[in-house]
Amino acid sequence: MVGSGYRPYREYILRAVSGHYRLWLLDTREATWQLDYLVGATAVDTHDTAALFAAARAVTEELPVAGVFTYDESQVVACAELAEELGLPGSPPATIRACRDKAATRAALAAAGLPQPRSSIVDSLAEALAAAEAIGYPVVVKARSLAGSYGVMRADDPEAVATAFATADGAEFFGLDRQETGRVLVEELLTGPEISVDAAIFDGEVLPTTIARKRVGWAPYFEEVGHDVTGDDPLWQDAELLDQVRRVHEALGFTYGATHSEFMLTDAGPRLIEVNARLGGEFIPHLGHLARGCDAVLAAVQAAAGERPDTRQRHSAAAGIRFLYPPTHVETVEVIVHEDRFGPTVREVGLTTHPGDRLALPPVARLNRYAHVLASGESAEQVLADLAEAEQLVELVATPIEPPVT
């Protein structure tokens, strides 16, 4: 496994995988909390391809290695190259690069005749303004090769395009590589419910594992504030959506691995926003496991090991999560969890700030949450009710601060 990520959001993945496979971790830092789930670990600069390959070969000389796995967006291309180098299951590196490059994704889908929003690559504000005028306002301006909605902004007029272009052109996200030119896309704004589909791919067959309904906030910045999953979601019977999921993967050339695809359910039908060549973040695979009994994490690792994934639904329930943000830029004093206010389906609260932390909001910073609340149970109505006022369950005591200088 390459990379381990942020413990509060990713530990559940290591826990799930280690119950079925022996794990050796290749990570930039020395393993600490991860050791409970590993048979061994190597500290190596995972962004140095030669060093990563050498560290992996050293493991293969000591132990049988069945596959290469990552859920870290910054590692997906290197891991595809590593799997190819070691002769292990995986999709072609060119496929994974096409997912990292949203313009390449659009080109592959256009060649396959798949419907999608109008999109233009731009190099300058003048080109962005011309593209917005040609597409028609409102538009979405986005960084071409980032993740987590970084560098993505709605623009309703030329002034907003100027702000959005500067944001997208200058955005960075955990060291992800960006193009030297053509770094920004201007796209048609899609409207409708937004969803995500996680899938495992085995020998070219696309096996969906989780369908989640996304909640966004902090317009015009598309910040993810929650997700909901139900085992009996009618989207599982939506032939058009499922066919598009299959055709998207076919157009991109996926053979083995896991993906997280985002769609907008428009009046004209499902339209792809992007494909990520990894498991979904934000606890989405965990929500799917709680709601359907299908373990998307295990399915992803099975595919990476060249084993047919088990994607059967075992029960039908509901699960949801809400991410809590401060009302303004603040410095944390303390966080108080009010367990006496919990509804019957509240299952987990995670705190992601500490006294003295400074939390800034979009557009200054992204994903500066102070906590999350996760609920699951048999009744979707009860889950939604228990999450309706999640901010009342976890109280942030903080001091307002001046907006940080960008």
DSSP, collapsed to helix, strand or coil, labels residue 248 as helix
Is residue 406 scored above 60 in pLDDT?
Answer: no
CB 221 within 8 A of CB 367: no
Which of 37, 41, 43 is CA-nearest to residue 17?
37
- CATH architecture entry for 190-316: 2-Layer Sandwich (3.30)
Over the stretch 151-210, which tens digit does the pLDDT of each residue have?
799 999 999 999 999 989 887 766 666 676 788 999 999 999 999 999 999 999 999 999
For 317-406, which CATH class? alpha beta
Q: Buried b / exposed e across 331-345, counting CB within 10 Å, b at 16+?
A: ebeebeeeeeeeeeb
Q: Rounded to whole angstroms, how far apart are CA atoms 119 and 142?
A: 10
Residue partners of 64: CB distance under 8 A and separation at least 6? none
pTM, to two decimals: 0.95
Q: Is the backbone peptide bond immediately before 326 cis, with ω within 30 degrees of 0?
A: no
- CATH architecture entry for 118-188: 2-Layer Sandwich (3.30)
> What does the pLDDT read at residue 174?
60
> What does the pLDDT read at residue 16?
96
For the chain, what are the domain ranges?
7-88, 118-188, 190-316, 317-406
